[in-house]
Structure formats: C-alpha cells, structure tokens
A and B are shown apart, each in its own frame.
Chain A
Amino acid sequence: MKKLYILLALLSPTYLFAAASNELEGDFKLGPAIILIVILALFILVGFLFQAKDTNDFFAAGRKISKVGSGMAIASNWMSAASFLGMAALMYGTGYNGLAYVIGWTGGYVLLLILMAGQIRKYGKYTAADFIGDRFYSKSLRITGAIVAILISIAYCVGQFGGIGLLFQWILGIPYGWSVVIGGSVVLTYTLISGMLGVTKNMQIQYVIIIISFIIPLFLLTYKFDYFWLLPQIGYGSVVTDIVNGIPAPEIAGMVNSFGNDFAITPSPEYAMPWDPSSGQSYFQFMAIAFSLMVGTAGLPHVIQRFYVVPKVSDARWSVVWGLFFICILYWSAPVYSALGTILSASPEVGKLSKDAIVVYTAQLGNINPLIVGLLAAGGVSAAFSTVSGLLVAGASAFSHDLYVKVINPDCSPKKQLMMARLATILMAIIVSLLALLKLALIGQLVAVAFSLAGCTIFPLFLLGIWWSGSNKQGAIWGLIVGGSISLIAITYFVSLKIGFSLPYEEFVNYWLGAWYFAWIGAPLAIFTNIIVSKFTEETPIEIKKFLVENVHS
C-alpha cells in the first residue's frame, strides 16, 4: 500500500512537472522523461524486431514497404525538428515570412513527383551517388556525389541535433551542451541497432506519435481560449485576426496564461502582413527562401532515396501523395502554435523566449496538462530522431556503398560493408554533435542550408540527368562546380559572420546569397552551365541514352 502511495505521489502532476508554472525551463521533469523513455524503448524494440540482416535490408528495406507505409515513412522522415519546432519558431519570429518555409517545404514535393519520383524508381539505383555515377558515367562524379550527400546529411542533422539538445535540456533540466551529447548518443545507438528496415518500420510508428502529440494540445488550447476547436487548423484564423486587430482585455474570466497575464495583445498586424519591415525580412528573401526550399526538396538524397524502397514505380508516385498529405497535417497545424504563442507570450513578464522551443512553451503558457506537454516534447524528440536516423543511414550509405565499395574496396564482403556503414554513422554523429554545440542559427534556418546545398548540387543533376539525354559528364562536372562554388561562398560568408570574421562585400553577399536561400541563383546557374557545357562537348554515350529511353521514359 505504501508503495502505491509513493507511486501515486510520483505520478502526481506537481511532481511530474517539477518546474513551477511560471518557470518555462525548470528542473528535471519526471513525467516527460518517462514518456520519452517509453517511446524510445518502443523504437528500439521495433528496431530489434525488424533489424537489418544484410546490405539490401540496410540500404533499401528489402523493397518491401507499401505506398501508404512509405508515405508515412516519408512524412516521418521529413517531419523533423525543423517542422515540429522550427516552423512555428520562424513564424513566431518573422510572422508571414515564416510561411515561405511552409510552402517551400511542401511545394517542393510537387516538383519531386512530377519531375522525378517515378523516373528515379525506374532508374533503379540504391543511392543518389549511384544514380549520378551511372548516369554521368563517371567515377569521380560518383565520389563527388557521395561527398555532397554526406555534407547535406551533416548540414541537415546539425539542426536536428540542436532540436534534440533543446528538448533534452527542457526534459532533463541539464545544460544544452550535455543534452546534445546525451540526445546524440541515444539517436546514434538507435540508428546503429535498427538500420533502414527497422528505421522504416519505426518511421511509421514515429509518424503516428509525432502527429498525435502535436495535435492534441491544439484541440485543448483552442477549446480553452474559446476558438473553433473542432478543427484548430481552420479555427486559428480568428486567432490571427485577433492578433492583427489586438485583444484589449479578456471577455471571459480565467483566460490567462501560466504567468497570470490576460489573454490580450496590442494590435500587431506585423504578425500577418507580408514582408513586414519589423520582421527584418524582404519580399526578395520570402521568394528566394520559398524557391530554394522547393528545389532543395527535390534534390535531397535522403528523400530521393525513399523512392528506392517501394516495390513498384506507381508506389513511388503514390508514396509522394500520401507523404505530402501526412506532412501537410503537421504543416497546417504548426502556425496555430505560433499564433497562440504570440498572444500567450505578449506580456513582457514572460520575457524573451527561445523561439525554437515556442511549441512547447505555448502549451506550457496555455496551462495545458503537464503530461500532455511532456508528450508534446517527446513527440518533438521523435520527430528529430526519425529524421536523424534516416539522414545517418543516407550518409552512411553514401560512404560505405558509394565510396568504400564502389571506389576503395570493390571486393569487400557484405559484412564489412555493413561495418563501414556503421563506422560512418558514428563519425557523422560526432561531427554533427560538435557543430550543433555552436548554435549557429535557428533550427529551421540550419536545415534550410542543407536544402540550398541540395538545390545547387543534386537537383540540377537529377533534373537534367532524367529529362535531357544531352546532359553529359562534362556538363555535370561544370554544373556541379558552379553550384558547389556558390554554396561554398554563401556558407563561408555565413560562418564568417557568425564567428565575427569580416570578409569583403559582407553585407551584399549575406543578403543576396543568404545561407538559407542561395539556391535561388545557384540552382538556375548550375542548370544553365550544365546545358551550355554539354552542348559544346562530347555527346552522352549511346548506351546511357538507350537506357533512359527504354527503361526510364518508355
């Protein structure tokens, strides 16, 4: 009986939610920690049950995944810390301009489907570098493609590790540095155990957990603050209008945040008006971000790689439709957090909040049941985990399959190849953890760097490689040089600015080649260069053209 009392006491909301209601950070939170551990244990268990047995399993899940399952895996793989935490953060910070990320990260799927998905599956390769090496009949391009894929995976992972760090910090009540190390170690262990077959199965479970944990607080928040709660994704329209017009004083008693501040705000049209001067973002930046994210979406190796795991070509296409629909459920919901968070944090007493944690803070400020806030945080960790595991597998595949087997040691055994994949995973996790500790930008912005990089390098190669047989090796090399150089310039200027090192024309370059949207010019220039050089150099070999016509377009 005594044990039961102790257990009940431990499970009481006050103890579970150790932080006081007006402290958003607080100490160790037992409830959220238990939820997180249970969820992670479930992932590991599924990873064990569906563990990769050979290289075919590790890289492409044995090509046994259905179109709805693959769609869920695409969504789960896609719904990263950037979607779960970062998008609301960007809208909270820059208002309407944050929507450029919403349309960029969804509109790109239209490009991907119409121009690539089916054709990539028909081409029938394992990795992005496989395709590049084969289509452009060049070992050096295969190596470069693999290196670029690894760099994209690393850039993408940095933001995810930042998100994992932020949530582990919130749950465990430990400094950010330690939480990155602990969170990084857990996700690494999980990826190493499961491989892609486990990852794909897990991604389906992760999707369900992510979406449920994300949506439940929205119903509660919209109900509590008297908005149309049956469909919060539409009901929050009135929240946006209320922010624009201002809420002078609460009309219903008890409409307060966890600090006791009224549910009120001064008129704030800057939240919803396009490219508002107060956001510090211009019309050009809005358009450039949307475009860059779209072409980046269609060039991300770990997204393209998902089309290899479906059994049929039509499944590759339908998996995009399902994937996009599942993604949109979250993307329709994220702005609700940002809108409610804006009102709930309007009082200066709340202080400046970490934008990347606004989703969790909104639920906290809205006085949602602590266990549900804990579930929300655990969902955020799941979102980051599902993406990181996919990215680490994509990066490891690029290293072991495209570099090690195809270039360094073609005679190696499948066992050794699997070992190399796992070694590469560990190495990448270490590099990413170190970069995440630097906290270079918001999660969403860090992830957008990976998109621009993919848009400048991989996207042009896939687009022209599939749709124009005239694109040849020399064109691909020069296109990659141009796209890669623009990426290098943009990233160098961004990092220099962050570390306080001054470079010439700094303001000009950082504006026109911003780190999260340099693909607006990089992608078109890389495509243009590829076309021009291909026109004036030796033609593509007949066997490649024949393969394209007979296997991809017929």
Chain B
Amino acid sequence: MENQETVNEKSYDISFFKPTTELARSNRNLAIGLLLVWMISIFGFHIWLRIIETPTPEKAYTQYEMVWDNIKLGQATVSEKQIYIKSALSVLGKVTLDKESRIFLNTSVNKITEELVPENEKSDFKNKIAAFKLKKFGEDQYQELKKDLGSSAAKYIGVEDYSLEAKLIPLELVAAESYNMDYDNIALVMAKYLIHNQSYLTDFTFLGFPFHYFYTAVFLLVLFVGLCLYYCIAIQKIINRLGIEE
C-alpha cells in the first residue's frame, strides 16, 4: 500500500529536465532549442567579439606617438608641435571627454600654441584670447571674436581656416587656465580616448552600420521577436496535436 502511494507520488513529479507529461516534454524540447539559439546569439556573439578584438589606435594616436617624446623633451619642431595639437584637438572634440582630462589637454594645447606664435605676434594673439574670454555665447561680437581667434590660431597650428580644428581651438584656448603640462596624465588620456577595441566585426559595415552595432542594436531585437513568434506557433501546434484544451 505504502509502495503504491510512493509510485503515485512519483508520477506527479515534474522537472524541466525529466518531464513526466507529454506537454512538458514537448515544451522542454522546444524551449531548449530556442534558448540555445538565444544564448549563442547574445552571449556567444559577444564572447567571439571579445576573443577577436585587438586594441586599435586612431590615426591621431599614431601621429601623437611619433612626436610625443620630442614634445616631452622640449625638442619638438614646429611641424611636430602642430601634429601634437591636432591630435589633442581630436580628443578635445569628443563628447564623452571628462572634465579633468579636458583640463590636461587644453592646458597643453594652450602652451604649445603659444610656443608656435612668433614673438612679434604674441601680444596681439594674447589680446585676442583675452577679448574672446570676456564674451559669453550669444553676446554681441562673440562669433566675430571666435572666428578671428580661430583664423589666427589655424595659421599657427597648420590647419585650414573654417576647419573643425579652427572652430574648436578658440574654445580650448579660453578654457585653459594655465601653461603647465602634466605629461603622465596627458599620455594616459590620449591612450584612453584614442585606442579602441576593434576587429573585422567592427570594421565591416552593413546597411551603413559597423556590423557588430547593427547586430546588437537591430538584428538581435528582430531575432527576439522571431523566437517568440516561433514559440507561440510551435507550442500551439503541440497543444493541438495533444488535444489539450487550455
């Protein structure tokens, strides 16, 4: 009698891996298949992305590296200084740049630009910075003074007038509060913002996207909807096949 009860009790055991009803068994098989697709597509892809990535420097970093030693030693030529400023500006133009890193870089841009200005033009250039510093965005003459300062600086740092660098540099010159260069921190900031994890999955473009970005931001969501749709259709077929009324 006791044995009979135990047998009955066991027949009511239910487990995902050892299903005891036909519905649970079919559901388990379907779920395992779909969950495998789900896991591999999300985690498998990102593990693969991690395995194949290599730290890849931007062009600005490669150029910065070529001139950095001479900048530190104070032996940089004019063109080396110009290269450094362009590299630094390419970091200063980044939206995610934090406040502290900005200070390290704009201080260095301020100092090296100053070094590039011929002695006889120094006072005029400083006056332009001082005049622009007094203006706030939206005030009269703000745009004129900015443009004037940008044009002058563009000449010294070797970029075209109206270029992005020429538009950025006036803002950095007035933001800088000293001429002190913190070489160690500048090196850290440049490496942090100019070296990225890249691979063929990030370099290949698809529908205009870097492929990995398209995969995660667009494709995975399509896949999730597809998996859900497939599950609903498949489970309904199983339910109908088993003649179950829900």
Contact = CB atoms under 8 A, between A and B. Distances in A.
The reply to whether chain A is a binding partner of chain B is yes
Interface residues of B, number: 84
Given A95-B96, A244-B210, A109 B42 contact: no
A275 B196 CA distance: 9
Nearest to B230: A321
A314 B216 contact: no
Interface string B8-35: 1101111110011101100100110011
Nearest to B37: A110
Nearest to A283: B50
Contacts of A354: none
A278 B49 contact: no
Contacts of A277: 191-193, 195-196
Interface in A97-137: 99, 102-103, 106-107, 109-111, 113-115, 118, 122
Contacts of B143: 260
A554 interface: yes
Interface stretch (A160-168, A343-351, A510-518): A343-351
Contacts of A143: none
Contacts of A264: 164, 167
Given A545-B13, A549-B20, A332 B221 contact: yes
Given A234-B218, A240-B210, A273-B196, A467 B15 contact: yes
Contacts of A314: 232, 236, 239, 246
A431 B23 CA distance: 45
Given A267-B90, A470-B13, A554 B23 contact: yes
B218 to A, nearest CB: 6
A99 B164 CA distance: 29
A107 B224 contact: yes
A468 to B, nearest CB: 5
Given A259-B137, A553-B14, A270 B96 contact: yes
Nearest to A467: B16
B34 A114 contact: yes
A346 B138 contact: no
B220 interface: yes
Interface residues of A, number: 90
Nearest to A545: B12
A275 B197 CA distance: 7
A52 interface: no
A272 interface: yes
Interface string B160-194: 00111001100110010000000000000001110
A233 interface: yes
A554 B192 contact: no
Interface in B57-105: 58-60, 89-97, 99
B70 to A, nearest CB: 24
B224 A106 contact: yes
B152 interface: no
A468 B192 contact: no
B231 interface: yes
A116 to B, nearest CB: 11
Contact of B220 (A93, A103, A287): A103
Given A332-B217, A346-B93, A553 B196 contact: no
Given A99-B217, A277-B193, A320-B228, 6 more contacts: A20-B138, A266-B91, A272-B213, A277-B192, A290-B43, A553-B27
25 contacts: A22-B138, A102-B221, A106-B220, A106-B221, A113-B231, A114-B34, A228-B208, A237-B208, A246-B90, A265-B164, A266-B91, A267-B58, A268-B93, A270-B196, A278-B94, A278-B193, A279-B96, A313-B246, A317-B235, A328-B224, A328-B225, A346-B95, A349-B171, A548-B14, A549-B11
Interface of A: 20, 22, 92-96, 99, 102-103, 106-107, 109-111, 113-115, 118, 122, 228, 233-238, 240-241, 244, 246, 248-249, 259-262, 264-279, 283, 286-287, 290-291, 312-314, 317-318, 320-321, 324-325, 328, 331-332, 335, 342, 345-349, 352, 467-470, 539, 542, 545-546, 548-549, 553-554
Q: Which 7 A-B pairs have the closest CB atoms?
A: A237-B208, A266-B93, A237-B209, A238-B208, A545-B12, A313-B246, A467-B16
